[in-house]
Structure 1
């Protein structure tokens, strides 16, 4: 079912060459060996703004401006990659742009957006959350007659993002066919564009969509048969944490089954970020790691021998987040756990506990939670180890020695309060 005119996408791709060369489609030897398959990465983290978002923004500007000078003021609301792509396009076309960002936006993202837009953009910090920021942008458009540049829900944005697929088609080695194409989903612009471009070339079953577990807007919409608004989202994967998929995007994607949408735990994404950084030296943002993380959740036998293309959507990673990402990755891998211990208030009790630790167990955190108890004291302890099975033996020794404990590693409420 054809949902996109490839000729328009090809023209958009040709226009993009005034900005940057095609991002590489790289055969990744590490992942290929790991999964016994041919794994290609489409490196959208290597665009000038380190994400694919510049493609849609550029195409939107091109269509509105039409090649001539413009006195329009363009407007966007974003705290991330869309703002940077928008700013880059403003400077390229020499037009004025107004960027609305939440007050809570990290300074690093504000600075990068200002760098890409230069004197052509103005940044306004409004509201504590995106919804407030977006409302302010809409009000500005109404009051001034400005032109809103949407992040994903527009035909020209979808067409621009589809240039990712056009480049993949041109870059795939001769004779190679794609068995599976894996792409992240936030608002749906990228996935609508890619699936539309390949509609006549690949069967519907070849596409695998991946969303953060805490923001399943496409999966819930496909299950319901219409667009739904999620009551809440986990914003950890900020580049794909969208509460409502775009109307135009869902129209292009509603032909797919909800079973083709894989929900990826946020902590699994953290493991992928750490692995790609340590092994490959590739810096990925959480949304950029989604497709690679999804691959790790598939049965190995189901993908062995296949040719698989993974869209790496972005690399705008704030390294201030690295300690948290590493922490979550270790917890997901089963290499770190947190316990609340109930130790008797007697001499030698702590020494007895330490003797229960194995040779590869290391105490990463130790904190008294309640010091005034007469007979017992409560302790928060974090333990790191080298293999997840080490915890099986450790917990068995806890039980055998009558040690009172509670594993709070996966207890989100307690973990958020005290870890």
Structure 2
């Protein structure tokens, strides 16, 4: 572990060729809310707005030192690793072919092109990261290029450990708890390996998106497991399979140290940090903050560091984030109302709405019978409790309705 810690410190020094250390900021709002010292390690403020530059630069530097003739690199990434590789390619003056899923937000694609300039070529392929990864590895073998893994690489892990090196230097003491997001496990592996050596008293909690719990699956299966289905909303952490090397670093993690964050709840956290603190986080970047309510009893009176891993958020997604946050918070619901086809029925329904209830959607679907018609209705309100009053009035008036807010199948087709 000492050798790894020494290497991580050396890699951290070399990173200063590219950018100053990212801020470690005490967050007054979160500290007051939880009665703790909450610090944010702002990886969203790196030159590429994520920690991924650390691993990409470190791995590329080491390859170039060992093989100066190696001038072509390949990677697969949902966005943040791609930007780090592109930035590093331009810095070293080498060419890079970057494979990205077709579903990658346009903002991340554009930024990758901007960071790499003429030094990189982008190939969009595959709906999910693992398909993209296979295409990149096949291309790499064919061309004899060097593949830069987004997480399952010892040099990448060493580079990500620089987050922990800076954290200890900036804090001036060992934190009681560090909360880490987990996708493929590169960041979590590097930070835990360093802190277990240099701050053994520090505890950890690991956060995965509910729809991409690859660490949870690996711990249960005692080795990396490929998830059958992945929710790609948290694109920076939606990985179907933990890396083999990262599992070796994380296999001692206890199941109760891993928390799962529902995608819709993450949206609430993103909006909260944006509206209250002015901090722009992508879904993966909000993971460590999102679980603080679950840890309220554990963290009271303690020093806690949340790693905000990225801020590459495409604001074209903001309406979706707001919608998901409202639905999770219970202040927006969709339901199908069986509307009587008689004069005054619509007026009767509208009279049931309270002063804070707004109709966000009203669409006749079809006439289900001669005397009734089905209506899709979306309502926004100020407090979740307002819906009980509305539904009580509908029941009393014998209106037939069905709440489809959390019905994934109906929501997908109708909303």
Short-chain TM bin: over 0.9
Return the offset for 1:129. 4.1
Q: Provide the C-alpha distance between the structure 1 equivalents of 2:67 and 2:136, rounded to a whole number of angstroms.
A: 25
SS of match in other structure, 1:14:
helix
- The question of whether the paired residues in 2 share the 8 Å contact of 1:3 and 1:199 is answered with no
Q: Equivalent of 2:392, from 396, 407, 413?
A: 396
For residues 230-251 of structure 1, the C-alpha deviation after alignment (integer angstroms, 9 at most, x for no partner) is 1011000000000000000011
SS of match in other structure, 1:285:
coil
Return the offset for 1:350. 0.9
Alignment size in residue pairs: 415
Q: Provide the C-alpha distance between the structure 1 equivalents of 2:250 and 2:56, rounded to a whole number of angstroms.
A: 21
Return the offset for 1:128. 4.4
Comparing 29-38 and 18-27, the one that deviates more: 29-38
Q: Provide the C-alpha distance between the structure 2 equivalents of 1:98 and 1:310, rounded to a whole number of angstroms.
A: 33
Alignment of 1:291 with 2:283, yes or no, is: no
Q: Provide the C-alpha distance between the structure 2 equivalents of 1:71 and 1:5, rounded to a whole number of angstroms.
A: 25
Residue 197 of structure 2 corresponds to: 200
Alignment of 1:416 with 2:412, yes or no, is: yes
SS of match in other structure, 1:150:
coil
Q: Provide the C-alpha distance between the structure 2 equivalents of 1:15 and 1:301, rounded to a whole number of angstroms.
A: 39
Alpha-carbon distance change, 131 to 195 in structure 1, aligned in 2, over 3 angstroms: closer
Matches within 5 A, 1:234-313: 234-298=231-295, 300-313=296-309
SS of match in other structure, 2:294:
coil
Return the offset for 1:131. 3.6
Comparing 393-402 and 279-288, the one that deviates more: 393-402
SS of match in other structure, 1:310:
strand
For residues 22-78 of structure 1, the C-alpha deviation after alignment (integer angstroms, 9 at most, x for no partner) is 000000011111111111000000010000000000010111111884443111112
Return the offset for 1:203. 5.0
Q: Equivalent of 1:381, from 374, 377, 395?
A: 377
Q: Provide the C-alpha distance between the structure 1 equivalents of 2:275 and 2:291, rounded to a whole number of angstroms.
A: 19
- The question of whether the paired residues in 2 share the 8 Å contact of 1:70 and 1:95 is answered with no
Alpha-carbon distance change, 205 to 376 in structure 1, aligned in 2, over 3 angstroms: farther
Residue 22 of structure 1 corresponds to: 21
Q: Provide the C-alpha distance between the structure 1 equivalents of 2:200 and 2:403, rounded to a whole number of angstroms.
A: 46
SS of match in other structure, 1:214:
helix
Residue 403 of structure 2 corresponds to: 407
SS of match in other structure, 1:366:
strand
Q: Provide the C-alpha distance between the structure 1 equivalents of 2:131 and 2:197, rounded to a whole number of angstroms.
A: 41
- The question of whether the paired residues in 2 share the 8 Å contact of 1:45 and 1:51 is answered with yes
Q: Provide the C-alpha distance between the structure 1 equivalents of 2:202 and 2:26, rounded to a whole number of angstroms.
A: 22
Residue 164 of structure 2 corresponds to: 165
TM-score normalized with structure 2 length: 0.96
Q: Provide the C-alpha distance between the structure 2 equivalents of 1:103 and 1:264, rounded to a whole number of angstroms.
A: 25
- The question of whether the paired residues in 2 share the 8 Å contact of 1:4 and 1:196 is answered with no
Q: Provide the C-alpha distance between the structure 2 equivalents of 1:126 and 1:36, rounded to a whole number of angstroms.
A: 46
Q: Provide the C-alpha distance between the structure 2 equivalents of 1:306 and 1:394, rounded to a whole number of angstroms.
A: 43
RMSD of aligned Cα (Å): 1.7
Residue 141 of structure 1 corresponds to: 140
Alpha-carbon distance change, 279 to 306 in structure 1, aligned in 2, over 3 angstroms: same
SS of match in other structure, 1:66:
helix
Return the offset for 1:178. 1.5
Q: Equivalent of 1:354, from 339, 345, 350?
A: 350
